[in-house]
A and B are shown apart, each in its own frame.
Chain A
Amino acid sequence: MTTPTTRRPRVVILDYGSGNLRSAQRALERVGADVSVTAELAVALNCDGLAVPGVGAFASCMRGLHAIDGPRIIDRRLAGARPVLGICVGMQVLFDRGVEGTQETDGCRQWPGVVDRLTAPVVPHMGWNTVAAPPGSRLFDGVASERFYFVHSFAARSFPVHDAAPFLPPMVTWAEHGEPFVAAVENGALSATQFHPEKSGDAGAVLLENWLSQL
């Protein structure tokens, strides 16, 4: 009798600047991924799943992404229906553009809408918050009622959906801090979370496992 070997999904964390990438790497390894942290084009294009992290300013993240041809990597993966997961500012840059003060920066334009400053008495939004996931969400399967760790001052506060589009509309999960904002999106091969699943304890681990199960 032979034991079937389960193949570990190969995940790349796109390395385009400084910040804490170690936590994302370890969190994905913990739930069974074979993780490398790199910006190497061929590896990033061909892996089973690409995670796009991001901290700091929208503009500097876009600069970092452009420097490694990140927007094209994302485009080409999606053209081949290969999964991409954006995390925190890595989600924000998937929208049309970001507005920080008087500075407007073009994003990767995968989704319509603008990322700008949250209106709330206390900003940044820092800590563990609840989310409202739509029925049928695969990412939040089993953890829809859990809290996740957020740390951000900017967010997508609307998600314009074009009813006429010949595709399934994206599945949008909302959260609230002073006002509603987009906490996660599931859109075919492209998924993203505004919160940090790699910092969200066991609930975050389940979410990452849910993502890996789709690879």
Chain B
Amino acid sequence: MTVAVRVIPCLDVTGGRVVKGVNFVDLRDAGDPVEMARIYDAEGADELTFLDITASSDVRETTYEVVRRTAETVFIPLTVGGGIRSVRDVDRLLRAGADKVGVNTAAVLRPELIDEISAEFGSQVLVLSVDARRVPGQGIPSGFEVTTHGGRTGTGRDASAWICEAVGRGVGEILLNSMDADGTRAGYDLDMIAATRAVCSVPLVASGGAGQLADFEPAVAAGADAVLAASVFHFGQLRIAEVKVALGAAGHPVRRLRT
């Protein structure tokens, strides 16, 4: 009896629509996040992540609506990240039907946000999203630096130290995104996963770099509790079920759908 490795598709949404193109033959509306969520649920996704990439707050209402409709359609956990700056933002998302929320830049700028959210709602709702990159020979002990603004801005902060601090403040899960691997489809950054696992006592979700079936198992072997991917799923290049079969064949526990 062991908890299963979770396989999590991530959807970028703005203005109530999925941003990156999708190529699913059986989709009625490839741009509708709710429809995508329904398909992924049916395919065996263990959880869904929505990343709200909306820059301005006035179109954020559409995100609440998407969360609301998704929670009414699928019955698996839903994490929503992007632009969360306050306890009030979290409350609204939870009430709309999110189970977890992800914070990133706002927590880097003001770490007390983590204490405030976990005091109000508990650690289990709070995911810290960390966009990290390799910075060898720059005096950062772990060799990985926290970035903001989609990897464009370095903070000079050690990713491992930041994760330890955040867990101490009450984060319940880490979403570790390698900015070097992101978009390359060349595999997860296994060194980054292993370095994080060594210091991280909360669940660890690996993100960035998944390109083929063989990429997932090493991420789990390196210490990830869950694997997240976007484009390989959206373009139908890989199916959730095949990833689970591959993980299961390697001896990792996975959740199979009821037949």
Q: Is B1 an interface residue (CB 8 A)?
A: yes
Do A23 and B75 touch (CB < 8 A)? yes
Residue of B nearest to A149 (CB): B77
Size of the B side of the interface (Cβ < 8 Å), in residues, is 38
The residue of chain B having its C-beta at the shortest distance from the C-beta of A208 within the complex is: B75
Interface status of B173 (Cβ within 8 A of chain A): yes
**Quick check: B121 and A56 within 8 Å, CB to CB?**
yes
Pick the contact of A176 from B1, B122, B255 — CB < 8 Å?
B1
Pick the contact of A20 from B3, B99, B123 — CB < 8 Å? B99
- Known contacts A23-B75, A127-B46, A129-B2; A203 and B125 CB within 8 A of each other: no
Give the distance in Å from the alpha carbon of A152 to the alpha carbon of B46 in the complex.
17
Q: Can you name the residue of chain A whose Cβ is closest to the Cβ of B46?
A: A128
Interface locus among B10-18, B25-33, B88-96, B214-222: B88-96
Contact with B along A38-77 (1 / 0, CB 8 A): 0000000000000000011100000000000000000000
Are the C-beta atoms of B201 and A128 separated by less than 8 Å? no
CA distance in complex: A129, B201 (Å): 19
A126 vs B258: C-alpha distance in the bound complex, in angstroms?
A: 20
Give chain B's interface secondary structure class: loop
Q: Which residues of B contact A20 (CB under 8 A)?
A: 71, 94-95, 97-99
B131 to chain A, nearest CB (A): 21
* A-facing residues in B86-129 (Cβ within 8 Å): 91, 94-99, 120-125
Q: In the complex, A130→B120 CA distance in Å?
A: 30
User: Taking the nearest CB of chain B, how far is it from the CB of A5, in angstroms?
Assistant: 25
- Decide yes or no whether B172 CB sits under 8 A from chain A: yes
Q: Is the CB of A18 within 8 A of B94?
A: yes
Report the Cα distance A176→B96, complex, angstroms: 31
Report the nearest A residue to B122, measured CB to CB: A56
Q: A20-B99, A177-B3 are in contact. Are A124 and B46 (CB under 8 A)?
A: no
Please give, as numbers and ranges, the residues of chain A lying within 8 Å of B4 by CB-CB distance: 127-129, 147
- The residue in chain B whose Cβ has the minimal distance to the Cβ of A122 is B203
Contact between A27 and B91, CB atoms less than 8 A apart: no
- A152 vs chain B, min Cβ distance (A): 7
Q: Are A199 and B203 in contact (CB under 8 A)?
A: no
Please give, as numbers and ranges, the residues of chain B lying within 8 Å of A176 by CB-CB distance.
Answer: 1-2
Whole-angstrom CA separation of A151 from B77 in the bound complex: 10
- Distance in angstroms from B172 CB to nearest chain A CB is 5
Asked if A150 is at the interface (CB within 8 A of a chain B CB), the reply is yes
CA A122 – CA B204 in complex, angstroms?
9
The 3 closest A-B pairs by CB, nearest first: A56-B122, A128-B255, A127-B3
30 A-B residue pairs with CB within 8 Å: A18-B94, A18-B95, A19-B121, A20-B99, A22-B68, A23-B99, A26-B72, A26-B75, A55-B124, A55-B125, A57-B122, A122-B204, A124-B124, A126-B3, A126-B203, A127-B5, A127-B226, A128-B4, A128-B255, A129-B3, A130-B1, A153-B123, A153-B124, A176-B1, A176-B2, A196-B77, A199-B76, A199-B77, A202-B75, A202-B257
